[in-house]
Structure 1
Protein backbone atom coordinates (compact mmCIF):
# COMPACT_ATOMS: atom_id res chain seq x y z
CA UNK A 1 0.00 0.00 0.00
CA UNK A 2 2.99 2.29 0.51
CA UNK A 3 3.55 2.19 -3.24
CA UNK A 4 0.44 4.28 -3.82
CA UNK A 5 -1.89 1.41 -4.70
CA UNK A 6 -5.57 1.54 -3.81
CA UNK A 7 -5.88 -2.22 -3.38
CA UNK A 8 -3.21 -4.83 -2.61
CA UNK A 9 -4.17 -8.46 -3.27
CA UNK A 10 -2.39 -11.52 -1.91
CA UNK A 11 -2.34 -13.83 -4.92
CA UNK A 12 -1.39 -17.47 -5.37
CA UNK A 13 -1.37 -17.04 -9.14
CA UNK A 14 1.45 -14.53 -9.61
CA UNK A 15 5.14 -15.37 -9.78
CA UNK A 16 6.39 -16.90 -6.48
CA UNK A 17 2.82 -17.54 -5.34
CA UNK A 18 1.64 -21.13 -4.91
CA UNK A 19 -0.93 -23.54 -3.48
CA UNK A 20 -0.15 -26.50 -1.25
CA UNK A 21 -2.29 -29.56 -0.75
CA UNK A 22 -5.06 -28.88 -3.25
CA UNK A 23 -6.51 -31.67 -5.36
CA UNK A 24 -6.62 -31.32 -9.15
CA UNK A 25 -10.41 -30.81 -8.99
CA UNK A 26 -10.07 -27.94 -6.52
CA UNK A 27 -7.45 -26.28 -8.70
CA UNK A 28 -9.66 -26.64 -11.79
CA UNK A 29 -12.63 -25.12 -9.93
CA UNK A 30 -10.52 -22.19 -8.72
CA UNK A 31 -9.02 -21.51 -12.15
CA UNK A 32 -12.46 -21.87 -13.76
CA UNK A 33 -14.01 -19.36 -11.35
CA UNK A 34 -11.25 -16.85 -12.10
CA UNK A 35 -11.58 -17.39 -15.85
CA UNK A 36 -15.33 -16.72 -15.73
CA UNK A 37 -14.74 -13.49 -13.80
CA UNK A 38 -12.05 -12.28 -16.20
CA UNK A 39 -14.22 -13.03 -19.25
CA UNK A 40 -17.46 -11.48 -18.01
CA UNK A 41 -15.97 -8.61 -15.99
CA UNK A 42 -13.61 -6.59 -18.22
CA UNK A 43 -12.47 -4.45 -15.27
CA UNK A 44 -10.63 -7.42 -13.74
CA UNK A 45 -9.25 -8.94 -16.94
CA UNK A 46 -5.67 -8.07 -15.95
CA UNK A 47 -5.97 -9.28 -12.37
CA UNK A 48 -4.80 -12.87 -11.92
CA UNK A 49 -6.71 -13.56 -8.72
CA UNK A 50 -9.73 -11.23 -8.47
CA UNK A 51 -11.50 -13.61 -6.08
CA UNK A 52 -8.82 -13.67 -3.37
CA UNK A 53 -10.09 -13.43 0.18
CA UNK A 54 -6.82 -11.90 1.41
CA UNK A 55 -6.47 -8.24 0.46
CA UNK A 56 -6.14 -4.69 1.75
CA UNK A 57 -7.62 -1.48 0.41
CA UNK A 58 -7.56 2.21 1.11
CA UNK A 59 -10.68 3.84 2.48
CA UNK A 60 -10.83 6.00 -0.65
CA UNK A 61 -11.50 2.85 -2.71
CA UNK A 62 -15.02 2.61 -1.28
CA UNK A 63 -15.61 6.23 -0.33
CA UNK A 64 -19.04 7.30 -1.54
CA UNK A 65 -20.03 3.90 -2.92
CA UNK A 66 -20.79 1.94 0.26
CA UNK A 67 -24.50 1.94 -0.54
CA UNK A 68 -23.75 0.34 -3.92
CA UNK A 69 -21.78 -2.60 -2.52
CA UNK A 70 -24.01 -5.67 -2.47
CA UNK A 71 -21.77 -8.76 -2.20
CA UNK A 72 -23.21 -12.26 -2.45
CA UNK A 73 -21.37 -14.98 -0.61
CA UNK A 74 -17.83 -14.18 0.48
CA UNK A 75 -16.21 -12.80 -2.70
CA UNK A 76 -16.11 -9.25 -1.38
CA UNK A 77 -13.02 -8.30 -3.39
CA UNK A 78 -14.92 -8.59 -6.68
CA UNK A 79 -17.55 -6.19 -5.41
CA UNK A 80 -14.92 -3.60 -4.44
CA UNK A 81 -13.00 -3.98 -7.71
CA UNK A 82 -16.12 -3.51 -9.86
CA UNK A 83 -18.20 -1.03 -7.89
CA UNK A 84 -15.47 0.70 -5.93
CA UNK A 85 -13.25 3.62 -6.94
CA UNK A 86 -9.86 1.93 -6.97
CA UNK A 87 -7.57 2.86 -9.85
CA UNK A 88 -4.28 1.25 -8.95
CA UNK A 89 -4.26 -2.43 -7.99
CA UNK A 90 -1.26 -4.65 -7.25
CA UNK A 91 -0.91 -8.37 -6.53
CA UNK A 92 1.67 -9.79 -4.14
CA UNK A 93 2.62 -13.49 -4.07
CA UNK A 94 1.70 -15.74 -1.19
CA UNK A 95 1.55 -19.48 -0.57
CA UNK A 96 -1.80 -21.00 0.28
CA UNK A 97 -1.03 -23.62 2.93
CA UNK A 98 -3.27 -26.58 3.86
CA UNK A 99 -6.09 -25.73 6.26
CA UNK A 100 -5.44 -26.71 9.87
CA UNK A 101 -8.78 -25.73 11.37
CA UNK A 102 -12.28 -25.17 10.07
CA UNK A 103 -13.79 -26.26 6.78
CA UNK A 104 -13.73 -24.90 3.25
CA UNK A 105 -16.54 -22.49 2.32
CA UNK A 106 -16.88 -24.17 -1.08
CA UNK A 107 -20.31 -25.75 -1.58
CA UNK A 108 -22.95 -25.99 -4.28
CA UNK A 109 -24.72 -22.98 -2.78
CA UNK A 110 -21.52 -20.94 -2.86
CA UNK A 111 -20.92 -21.87 -6.50
CA UNK A 112 -24.45 -20.74 -7.43
CA UNK A 113 -24.07 -17.53 -5.40
CA UNK A 114 -20.76 -16.84 -7.14
CA UNK A 115 -22.22 -17.25 -10.63
CA UNK A 116 -25.20 -15.05 -9.75
CA UNK A 117 -22.80 -12.48 -8.31
CA UNK A 118 -20.77 -12.44 -11.53
CA UNK A 119 -23.91 -11.96 -13.62
CA UNK A 120 -25.05 -9.13 -11.36
CA UNK A 121 -21.68 -7.36 -11.65
CA UNK A 122 -21.35 -7.82 -15.42
CA UNK A 123 -21.64 -4.63 -17.50
CA UNK A 124 -24.87 -4.16 -19.43
CA UNK A 125 -23.33 -4.98 -22.84
CA UNK A 126 -22.17 -8.38 -21.51
CA UNK A 127 -25.66 -9.06 -20.16
CA UNK A 128 -27.12 -7.94 -23.49
CA UNK A 129 -24.85 -10.39 -25.29
CA UNK A 130 -25.82 -13.23 -22.94
CA UNK A 131 -29.50 -12.49 -23.55
CA UNK A 132 -28.84 -12.44 -27.29
CA UNK A 133 -27.14 -15.84 -27.10
CA UNK A 134 -30.10 -17.25 -25.17
CA UNK A 135 -32.42 -15.72 -27.76
CA UNK A 136 -30.57 -17.62 -30.47
CA UNK A 137 -31.13 -20.88 -28.59
CA UNK A 138 -34.83 -20.03 -28.16
CA UNK A 139 -35.08 -19.15 -31.86
CA UNK A 140 -33.53 -22.41 -33.03
CA UNK A 141 -35.46 -24.48 -30.49
CA UNK A 142 -38.79 -22.96 -31.53
CA UNK A 143 -37.95 -23.44 -35.21
CA UNK A 144 -37.07 -27.09 -34.61
CA UNK A 145 -40.28 -27.83 -32.72
CA UNK A 146 -42.49 -26.11 -35.28
CA UNK A 147 -40.87 -27.76 -38.30
CA UNK A 148 -41.19 -31.16 -36.62
CA UNK A 149 -44.91 -30.42 -36.32
CA UNK A 150 -45.05 -29.97 -40.09
CA UNK A 151 -45.35 -26.18 -40.17
CA UNK A 152 -43.79 -24.68 -43.34
CA UNK A 153 -40.32 -23.21 -42.84
CA UNK A 154 -41.30 -19.64 -43.75
CA UNK A 155 -44.06 -19.57 -41.14
CA UNK A 156 -42.00 -21.47 -38.55
CA UNK A 157 -39.06 -19.11 -39.02
CA UNK A 158 -41.26 -16.03 -38.62
CA UNK A 159 -42.78 -17.38 -35.40
CA UNK A 160 -39.32 -18.37 -34.09
CA UNK A 161 -37.99 -14.87 -34.71
CA UNK A 162 -40.93 -13.29 -32.88
CA UNK A 163 -40.60 -15.69 -29.94
CA UNK A 164 -36.88 -14.91 -29.63
CA UNK A 165 -37.55 -11.15 -29.78
CA UNK A 166 -40.13 -11.49 -27.00
CA UNK A 167 -37.69 -13.61 -24.99
CA UNK A 168 -34.93 -11.03 -25.39
CA UNK A 169 -37.25 -8.14 -24.55
CA UNK A 170 -38.44 -9.75 -21.32
CA UNK A 171 -34.92 -10.62 -20.13
CA UNK A 172 -33.51 -7.21 -21.03
CA UNK A 173 -36.47 -5.51 -19.39
CA UNK A 174 -36.18 -7.33 -16.05
CA UNK A 175 -32.39 -7.75 -15.96
CA UNK A 176 -30.05 -6.09 -18.47
CA UNK A 177 -31.54 -2.59 -18.66
CA UNK A 178 -34.15 -2.61 -15.92
CA UNK A 179 -33.03 0.82 -14.74
CA UNK A 180 -34.39 2.45 -17.89
CA UNK A 181 -38.03 1.42 -17.70
CA UNK A 182 -39.43 4.94 -18.13
CA UNK A 183 -42.09 4.27 -20.78
CA UNK A 184 -45.08 1.93 -20.69
CA UNK A 185 -44.04 -1.67 -21.29
CA UNK A 186 -45.80 -1.92 -24.63
CA UNK A 187 -44.06 1.24 -25.82
CA UNK A 188 -40.73 -0.38 -24.97
CA UNK A 189 -41.79 -3.60 -26.69
CA UNK A 190 -42.71 -1.81 -29.92
CA UNK A 191 -39.45 0.15 -29.91
CA UNK A 192 -37.47 -3.04 -29.24
CA UNK A 193 -39.07 -4.63 -32.29
CA UNK A 194 -37.87 -1.62 -34.25
CA UNK A 195 -34.31 -1.81 -32.91
CA UNK A 196 -34.20 -5.56 -33.56
CA UNK A 197 -35.41 -5.08 -37.13
CA UNK A 198 -32.75 -2.40 -37.66
CA UNK A 199 -30.07 -4.70 -36.27
CA UNK A 200 -31.13 -7.57 -38.55
CA UNK A 201 -31.06 -5.24 -41.55
CA UNK A 202 -27.57 -4.02 -40.71
CA UNK A 203 -26.36 -7.57 -40.09
CA UNK A 204 -27.68 -8.72 -43.48
CA UNK A 205 -26.31 -5.68 -45.32
CA UNK A 206 -22.82 -5.82 -43.78
CA UNK A 207 -22.52 -9.58 -44.22
CA UNK A 208 -23.53 -9.52 -47.89
CA UNK A 209 -21.45 -6.43 -48.68
CA UNK A 210 -18.34 -8.05 -47.24
CA UNK A 211 -19.00 -11.35 -48.98
CA UNK A 212 -20.02 -10.14 -52.44
CA UNK A 213 -18.09 -6.88 -52.75
CA UNK A 214 -14.91 -7.54 -50.77
CA UNK A 215 -14.88 -11.32 -51.20
CA UNK A 216 -14.48 -11.92 -47.45
CA UNK A 217 -15.04 -15.59 -46.46
CA UNK A 218 -18.68 -16.33 -45.63
CA UNK A 219 -18.21 -17.16 -41.93
CA UNK A 220 -16.06 -14.09 -41.26
CA UNK A 221 -18.49 -11.86 -43.16
CA UNK A 222 -21.38 -13.24 -41.13
CA UNK A 223 -19.54 -12.78 -37.83
CA UNK A 224 -18.75 -9.17 -38.69
CA UNK A 225 -22.39 -8.65 -39.65
CA UNK A 226 -23.59 -10.16 -36.38
CA UNK A 227 -21.20 -7.91 -34.45
CA UNK A 228 -22.39 -4.81 -36.29
CA UNK A 229 -26.02 -5.77 -35.68
CA UNK A 230 -25.34 -6.42 -32.00
CA UNK A 231 -23.63 -3.06 -31.49
CA UNK A 232 -26.48 -1.19 -33.20
CA UNK A 233 -29.18 -3.08 -31.29
CA UNK A 234 -27.40 -2.44 -27.99
CA UNK A 235 -26.97 1.27 -28.68
CA UNK A 236 -30.59 1.71 -29.82
CA UNK A 237 -31.85 -0.28 -26.83
CA UNK A 238 -29.92 1.86 -24.36
CA UNK A 239 -30.71 5.19 -25.99
CA UNK A 240 -34.27 4.82 -27.27
CA UNK A 241 -35.92 1.69 -25.83
CA UNK A 242 -34.86 1.78 -22.17
CA UNK A 243 -33.30 5.25 -22.21
CA UNK A 244 -30.45 4.55 -19.82
CA UNK A 245 -28.24 7.18 -21.46
Structure 2
Protein backbone atom coordinates (compact mmCIF):
# COMPACT_ATOMS: atom_id res chain seq x y z
CA UNK A 1 0.00 0.00 0.00
CA UNK A 2 1.03 3.59 -0.72
CA UNK A 3 0.26 6.12 2.01
CA UNK A 4 0.15 9.77 0.92
CA UNK A 5 0.43 12.33 3.74
CA UNK A 6 -0.90 15.81 2.99
CA UNK A 7 -0.68 18.54 5.66
CA UNK A 8 -3.44 21.11 5.30
CA UNK A 9 -4.10 24.54 6.72
CA UNK A 10 -7.10 26.45 5.37
CA UNK A 11 -7.08 24.71 1.97
CA UNK A 12 -10.80 24.13 1.48
CA UNK A 13 -10.75 25.38 -2.12
CA UNK A 14 -8.01 22.95 -3.13
CA UNK A 15 -9.16 19.71 -1.50
CA UNK A 16 -11.85 18.67 -4.05
CA UNK A 17 -9.56 19.33 -7.02
CA UNK A 18 -6.61 17.54 -5.41
CA UNK A 19 -8.79 14.57 -4.46
CA UNK A 20 -9.98 14.00 -8.01
CA UNK A 21 -6.49 14.35 -9.48
CA UNK A 22 -5.04 11.81 -7.02
CA UNK A 23 -7.88 9.38 -7.71
CA UNK A 24 -7.28 9.69 -11.44
CA UNK A 25 -3.55 9.11 -11.12
CA UNK A 26 -3.62 6.18 -8.66
CA UNK A 27 -6.64 4.36 -10.11
CA UNK A 28 -5.95 0.63 -9.77
CA UNK A 29 -3.27 1.05 -7.06
CA UNK A 30 -3.68 0.16 -3.39
CA UNK A 31 -3.36 3.48 -1.61
CA UNK A 32 -4.60 5.72 1.19
CA UNK A 33 -4.51 9.48 1.56
CA UNK A 34 -4.13 11.00 5.03
CA UNK A 35 -4.86 14.70 5.45
CA UNK A 36 -3.35 16.08 8.67
CA UNK A 37 -5.32 19.25 9.18
CA UNK A 38 -4.66 22.30 11.36
CA UNK A 39 -7.27 24.51 9.69
CA UNK A 40 -9.30 27.26 11.28
CA UNK A 41 -11.79 27.64 8.39
CA UNK A 42 -14.24 25.17 6.82
CA UNK A 43 -11.54 22.80 5.58
CA UNK A 44 -12.41 20.07 8.18
CA UNK A 45 -15.96 19.90 6.85
CA UNK A 46 -14.67 19.54 3.29
CA UNK A 47 -12.28 16.77 4.37
CA UNK A 48 -15.08 14.97 6.21
CA UNK A 49 -17.24 15.05 3.08
CA UNK A 50 -14.36 13.64 1.00
CA UNK A 51 -13.80 10.85 3.54
CA UNK A 52 -17.49 9.86 3.46
CA UNK A 53 -17.46 9.69 -0.32
CA UNK A 54 -14.08 7.97 -0.76
CA UNK A 55 -13.02 5.52 2.02
CA UNK A 56 -9.36 5.60 0.93
CA UNK A 57 -9.24 9.26 1.99
CA UNK A 58 -9.19 10.10 5.69
CA UNK A 59 -8.23 13.06 7.85
CA UNK A 60 -6.80 13.85 11.26
CA UNK A 61 -7.70 17.24 12.70
CA UNK A 62 -5.49 18.95 15.28
CA UNK A 63 -6.84 21.78 17.43
CA UNK A 64 -3.89 22.56 19.69
CA UNK A 65 -0.86 21.97 17.50
CA UNK A 66 0.52 23.68 14.41
CA UNK A 67 3.41 23.07 12.06
CA UNK A 68 3.99 21.21 8.85
CA UNK A 69 6.84 19.04 10.14
CA UNK A 70 4.90 17.69 13.13
CA UNK A 71 1.88 17.14 10.89
CA UNK A 72 3.94 14.99 8.51
CA UNK A 73 5.37 12.94 11.39
CA UNK A 74 1.84 12.31 12.71
CA UNK A 75 0.89 11.20 9.21
CA UNK A 76 3.83 8.79 9.12
CA UNK A 77 2.70 7.29 12.42
CA UNK A 78 -0.89 6.87 11.22
CA UNK A 79 0.02 5.47 7.80
CA UNK A 80 -0.50 1.80 6.96
CA UNK A 81 1.65 1.63 3.85
CA UNK A 82 5.25 0.52 3.41
CA UNK A 83 5.65 3.24 0.77
CA UNK A 84 5.10 6.78 2.04
CA UNK A 85 4.66 9.99 0.08
CA UNK A 86 4.39 13.61 1.22
CA UNK A 87 2.97 16.50 -0.78
CA UNK A 88 1.31 19.89 -0.29
CA UNK A 89 -2.38 20.57 -0.71
CA UNK A 90 -2.03 23.82 -2.69
CA UNK A 91 -1.61 22.05 -6.07
CA UNK A 92 1.95 23.30 -6.54
CA UNK A 93 3.00 19.65 -6.37
CA UNK A 94 1.46 17.88 -9.38
CA UNK A 95 -0.14 14.55 -8.27
CA UNK A 96 0.51 13.19 -11.75
CA UNK A 97 4.15 12.65 -10.72
CA UNK A 98 3.15 10.07 -8.09
CA UNK A 99 3.15 7.22 -10.62
CA UNK A 100 6.66 8.05 -11.85
CA UNK A 101 7.88 8.32 -8.26
CA UNK A 102 6.30 4.96 -7.45
CA UNK A 103 7.98 3.35 -10.48
CA UNK A 104 11.41 4.44 -9.19
CA UNK A 105 10.61 3.05 -5.72
CA UNK A 106 9.56 -0.26 -7.28
CA UNK A 107 12.87 -0.35 -9.18
CA UNK A 108 14.83 -0.11 -5.93
CA UNK A 109 15.04 3.55 -4.92
CA UNK A 110 14.80 4.26 -1.20
CA UNK A 111 13.90 7.92 -1.66
CA UNK A 112 12.51 9.78 -4.70
CA UNK A 113 12.66 13.57 -4.82
CA UNK A 114 11.00 15.66 -7.54
CA UNK A 115 13.39 18.58 -8.06
CA UNK A 116 12.77 22.10 -9.33
CA UNK A 117 16.45 22.51 -10.18
CA UNK A 118 17.21 19.79 -12.71
CA UNK A 119 17.24 20.28 -16.48
CA UNK A 120 13.85 20.96 -17.96
CA UNK A 121 12.16 22.12 -14.76
CA UNK A 122 11.71 25.29 -12.76
CA UNK A 123 10.06 27.14 -9.91
CA UNK A 124 7.79 29.51 -11.83
CA UNK A 125 5.21 28.94 -9.10
CA UNK A 126 7.22 31.25 -6.85
CA UNK A 127 7.34 35.02 -7.03
CA UNK A 128 10.73 36.71 -7.39
CA UNK A 129 11.19 37.46 -3.67
CA UNK A 130 10.22 33.90 -2.73
CA UNK A 131 12.78 32.60 -5.23
CA UNK A 132 15.48 34.64 -3.50
CA UNK A 133 14.43 33.32 -0.08
CA UNK A 134 14.28 29.74 -1.38
CA UNK A 135 17.69 29.97 -3.04
CA UNK A 136 19.28 31.45 0.09
CA UNK A 137 17.70 28.82 2.32
CA UNK A 138 18.88 26.03 0.01
CA UNK A 139 22.42 27.42 0.01
CA UNK A 140 22.46 27.63 3.83
CA UNK A 141 21.37 24.01 4.23
CA UNK A 142 23.79 22.69 1.62
CA UNK A 143 26.73 24.54 3.17
CA UNK A 144 25.88 23.40 6.69
CA UNK A 145 24.77 19.78 6.13
CA UNK A 146 26.86 17.24 4.27
CA UNK A 147 24.10 14.81 3.29
CA UNK A 148 21.88 17.66 2.11
CA UNK A 149 24.57 18.73 -0.40
CA UNK A 150 24.04 15.57 -2.41
CA UNK A 151 20.56 16.51 -3.64
CA UNK A 152 19.57 19.51 -5.73
CA UNK A 153 16.26 20.37 -4.01
CA UNK A 154 16.48 19.62 -0.26
CA UNK A 155 13.79 22.23 0.47
CA UNK A 156 11.08 20.29 -1.32
CA UNK A 157 7.92 19.21 0.47
CA UNK A 158 7.23 16.62 -2.24
CA UNK A 159 8.87 13.20 -1.94
CA UNK A 160 8.29 9.45 -1.68
CA UNK A 161 10.23 6.89 0.35
CA UNK A 162 10.27 3.40 1.77
CA UNK A 163 9.21 3.16 5.40
CA UNK A 164 12.57 1.69 6.50
CA UNK A 165 14.22 5.04 5.71
CA UNK A 166 12.49 6.48 8.80
CA UNK A 167 13.19 3.60 11.16
CA UNK A 168 14.80 4.71 14.40
CA UNK A 169 14.91 8.44 13.58
CA UNK A 170 15.00 10.60 16.69
CA UNK A 171 12.71 13.37 15.46
CA UNK A 172 13.33 16.95 16.51
CA UNK A 173 10.99 18.77 14.12
CA UNK A 174 10.57 22.49 13.84
CA UNK A 175 9.17 24.64 11.06
CA UNK A 176 8.24 23.28 7.67
CA UNK A 177 11.17 21.44 6.04
CA UNK A 178 10.87 17.86 7.27
CA UNK A 179 12.80 16.53 4.25
CA UNK A 180 16.06 17.99 5.59
CA UNK A 181 15.70 15.98 8.78
CA UNK A 182 15.06 12.82 6.76
CA UNK A 183 18.11 13.46 4.57
CA UNK A 184 20.35 13.99 7.61
CA UNK A 185 18.99 11.22 9.86
CA UNK A 186 17.38 8.72 7.49
CA UNK A 187 18.61 5.25 6.50
CA UNK A 188 19.00 5.13 2.73
CA UNK A 189 21.54 4.31 0.04
CA UNK A 190 19.73 5.05 -3.22
CA UNK A 191 18.18 8.45 -3.89
CA UNK A 192 16.60 9.33 -7.25
CA UNK A 193 15.78 12.89 -8.29
CA UNK A 194 13.35 13.60 -11.11
CA UNK A 195 12.63 16.98 -12.71
CA UNK A 196 9.28 18.71 -12.32
CA UNK A 197 7.72 22.08 -12.91
CA UNK A 198 6.70 23.80 -9.68
CA UNK A 199 3.14 24.97 -10.36
CA UNK A 200 1.45 28.21 -9.40
CA UNK A 201 -0.43 28.26 -6.11
CA UNK A 202 -4.15 27.64 -6.41
CA UNK A 203 -6.56 29.11 -3.87
CA UNK A 204 -5.16 30.42 -0.58
CA UNK A 205 -2.08 32.54 0.09
CA UNK A 206 1.34 31.23 1.05
CA UNK A 207 1.94 30.32 4.72
CA UNK A 208 5.52 31.65 4.57
CA UNK A 209 6.40 34.21 7.25
CA UNK A 210 9.41 35.68 9.03
CA UNK A 211 8.67 33.33 11.92
CA UNK A 212 8.88 30.31 9.62
CA UNK A 213 12.18 31.57 8.18
CA UNK A 214 13.58 31.91 11.71
CA UNK A 215 12.34 28.40 12.52
CA UNK A 216 14.14 27.16 9.41
CA UNK A 217 17.46 28.55 10.64
CA UNK A 218 16.83 27.00 14.06
CA UNK A 219 16.13 23.68 12.36
CA UNK A 220 19.40 23.80 10.41
CA UNK A 221 21.28 24.59 13.63
CA UNK A 222 19.64 21.67 15.45
CA UNK A 223 20.50 19.29 12.61
CA UNK A 224 24.13 20.42 12.61
CA UNK A 225 24.39 19.93 16.37
CA UNK A 226 22.79 16.46 16.20
CA UNK A 227 24.90 15.25 13.25
CA UNK A 228 28.50 14.25 14.11
CA UNK A 229 29.67 14.50 10.50
CA UNK A 230 28.36 18.08 10.18
CA UNK A 231 29.26 19.22 13.68
CA UNK A 232 32.85 18.07 13.08
CA UNK A 233 33.55 20.67 10.38
CA UNK A 234 32.31 23.54 12.56
CA UNK A 235 34.35 22.29 15.51
CA UNK A 236 37.38 22.08 13.23
CA UNK A 237 36.94 25.71 12.22
CA UNK A 238 36.38 26.86 15.82
CA UNK A 239 39.53 25.07 16.96
CA UNK A 240 41.40 26.71 14.09
CA UNK A 241 40.26 30.13 15.28
CA UNK A 242 41.38 29.31 18.82
CA UNK A 243 44.79 28.41 17.38
CA UNK A 244 45.11 31.89 15.90
CA UNK A 245 44.52 33.40 19.34
CA UNK A 246 47.02 31.03 20.98
CA UNK A 247 49.60 31.86 18.31
CA UNK A 248 49.24 35.61 18.84
CA UNK A 249 49.41 35.39 22.64
CA UNK A 250 52.47 33.13 22.66
CA UNK A 251 54.23 35.23 20.02
CA UNK A 252 53.61 38.42 22.01
CA UNK A 253 54.99 36.82 25.18
CA UNK A 254 58.09 35.37 23.53
CA UNK A 255 58.91 38.47 21.48
CA UNK A 256 57.92 41.30 23.82
CA UNK A 257 58.70 39.76 27.21
CA UNK A 258 61.09 36.81 26.79
CA UNK A 259 63.25 38.62 24.23
CA UNK A 260 63.09 36.05 21.42
CA UNK A 261 63.79 37.20 17.88
CA UNK A 262 60.73 37.63 15.70
CA UNK A 263 61.67 34.54 13.64
CA UNK A 264 62.11 32.27 16.66
CA UNK A 265 59.03 33.70 18.37
CA UNK A 266 57.03 33.01 15.22
CA UNK A 267 58.33 29.43 14.94
CA UNK A 268 57.68 28.58 18.61
CA UNK A 269 54.23 30.22 18.70
CA UNK A 270 53.20 28.31 15.56
CA UNK A 271 54.34 25.02 17.14
CA UNK A 272 52.45 25.73 20.38
CA UNK A 273 49.30 26.67 18.46
CA UNK A 274 49.58 23.52 16.34
CA UNK A 275 49.93 21.39 19.48
CA UNK A 276 46.98 23.12 21.12
CA UNK A 277 44.86 22.54 18.02
CA UNK A 278 45.81 18.85 17.94
CA UNK A 279 44.81 18.32 21.57
CA UNK A 280 41.45 20.04 21.05
CA UNK A 281 40.75 18.09 17.86
CA UNK A 282 41.73 14.81 19.52
CA UNK A 283 39.37 15.53 22.42
CA UNK A 284 36.39 17.28 20.82
CA UNK A 285 36.45 17.24 17.00
CA UNK A 286 37.21 13.54 16.68
CA UNK A 287 36.18 12.06 20.05
CA UNK A 288 35.72 8.38 20.84
CA UNK A 289 38.07 5.44 20.72
CA UNK A 290 41.37 6.21 19.01
CA UNK A 291 43.49 3.89 16.90
CA UNK A 292 47.23 3.92 17.53
CA UNK A 293 49.32 6.13 19.78
CA UNK A 294 48.54 9.80 20.32
CA UNK A 295 52.12 10.67 19.36
CA UNK A 296 51.65 9.07 15.92
CA UNK A 297 48.43 10.99 15.40
CA UNK A 298 50.27 14.15 16.45
CA UNK A 299 53.03 13.58 13.88
CA UNK A 300 50.43 12.99 11.16
CA UNK A 301 48.63 16.16 12.18
CA UNK A 302 51.84 18.22 12.11
CA UNK A 303 52.79 16.83 8.70
CA UNK A 304 49.36 17.61 7.24
CA UNK A 305 49.40 21.10 8.75
CA UNK A 306 52.86 21.78 7.37
CA UNK A 307 51.75 20.76 3.89
CA UNK A 308 48.69 22.98 4.42
CA UNK A 309 50.95 25.96 5.05
CA UNK A 310 52.76 25.18 1.81
CA UNK A 311 49.45 24.97 -0.06
CA UNK A 312 48.41 28.32 1.39
CA UNK A 313 51.66 30.00 0.31
CA UNK A 314 51.61 28.39 -3.14
CA UNK A 315 48.03 29.52 -3.73
CA UNK A 316 48.89 33.03 -2.56
CA UNK A 317 51.92 33.16 -4.88
CA UNK A 318 50.06 31.90 -7.95
CA UNK A 319 46.98 34.08 -7.51
CA UNK A 320 48.87 37.26 -6.60
CA UNK A 321 52.15 37.07 -8.53
CA UNK A 322 50.95 35.24 -11.63
CA UNK A 323 47.34 36.37 -11.96
CA UNK A 324 47.48 39.81 -10.29
CA UNK A 325 44.81 39.14 -7.67
CA UNK A 326 44.63 41.41 -4.62
CA UNK A 327 47.07 39.94 -2.03
CA UNK A 328 44.53 39.91 0.81
CA UNK A 329 41.97 38.12 -1.35
CA UNK A 330 44.62 35.73 -2.68
CA UNK A 331 45.71 34.91 0.87
CA UNK A 332 42.09 34.37 1.97
CA UNK A 333 41.58 31.91 -0.88
CA UNK A 334 44.84 30.20 0.06
CA UNK A 335 43.66 29.85 3.66
CA UNK A 336 40.36 28.35 2.48
CA UNK A 337 42.11 25.83 0.22
CA UNK A 338 44.55 24.89 2.98
CA UNK A 339 41.71 24.49 5.49
CA UNK A 340 39.92 22.12 3.12
CA UNK A 341 43.15 20.12 2.73
CA UNK A 342 43.73 19.96 6.48
CA UNK A 343 40.18 18.88 7.31
CA UNK A 344 39.97 16.30 4.55
CA UNK A 345 43.37 14.72 5.15
CA UNK A 346 42.95 14.62 8.91
CA UNK A 347 39.57 12.96 8.41
CA UNK A 348 40.89 10.18 6.19
CA UNK A 349 44.37 9.70 7.71
CA UNK A 350 44.90 11.07 11.22
CA UNK A 351 41.48 10.15 12.62
CA UNK A 352 40.31 7.75 9.90
CA UNK A 353 38.28 5.60 12.31
CA UNK A 354 35.79 8.45 12.71
CA UNK A 355 34.73 8.44 9.05
CA UNK A 356 31.19 7.42 8.15
CA UNK A 357 30.50 6.90 4.46
CA UNK A 358 27.04 7.47 3.05
CA UNK A 359 26.33 6.61 -0.57
CA UNK A 360 23.57 8.49 -2.35
TM-score bucket (shorter structure) = 0.5 to 0.7
The residue that corresponds to 1:197 in the other structure is 302
Q: TM-score, normalised by structure 1?
A: 0.63
Q: Kindly indicate whether structure 1 or structure 2 has the higher relative contact order, using CA contacts under 8 Å at least 6 residues apart.
A: 1
The residue that corresponds to 2:138 in the other structure is 34
Q: Which runs of 5+ in 1 are unaligned?
A: 211-216
Offset of residue 87 of structure 1:
0.8
The residue that corresponds to 1:88 in the other structure is 191
2:168 to 49, 53, 67: 67
Distance 1:107 1:9, change over 3 A: same
Could you say what the CA RMSD is over the residues aligned between the two structures, in angstroms?
A: 4.4
Distance 1:206 1:57, change over 3 A: closer
Q: Which deviates more from structure 2 when the two are superposed, residues 67-76 or residues 223-232?
A: 223-232
The residue that corresponds to 2:103 in the other structure is 3
Q: TM-score, normalised by structure 2?
A: 0.47
Offset of residue 4 of structure 1:
1.5
Tell me which structure has the larger Cα radius of gyration: 2
Q: Secondary structure in 1 aligned to 2:205?
A: coil
Mapping of 1:86-165 within 5 angstroms?
86-91=189-194, 92-95=196-199, 97=201, 100=205, 104=209, 106-118=212-224, 120-121=226-227, 123=229, 128-145=232-249, 150=256, 152=260, 153=262, 154-155=264-265, 158-159=268-269, 161-163=271-273, 165=275
Cα displacement string for residues 51-95 of structure 1 (whole angstroms, at most 9, x for unaligned residues):
223322222433xxx224444424321232343215132243323
Q: Which deviates more from structure 2 when the two are superposed, residues 51-60 or residues 39-48?
A: 39-48
> Is the Cα contact below 8 Å between 2:278 and 2:301 reproduced in 1?
no
Tell me, in whole angstroms, the C-alpha distance in 1 between the residues paired with 2:266 and 2:311: 25
Tell me, in whole angstroms, the C-alpha distance in 2 between the residues paired with 1:107 and 1:205: 42
The residue that corresponds to 1:52 in the other structure is 156
Equivalent residue pairs, number = 224
Q: Which runs of 5+ in 2 are unaligned?
A: 1-100, 316-321, 323-329, 356-360
> Is the Cα contact below 8 Å between 2:104 and 2:192 reproduced in 1?
no
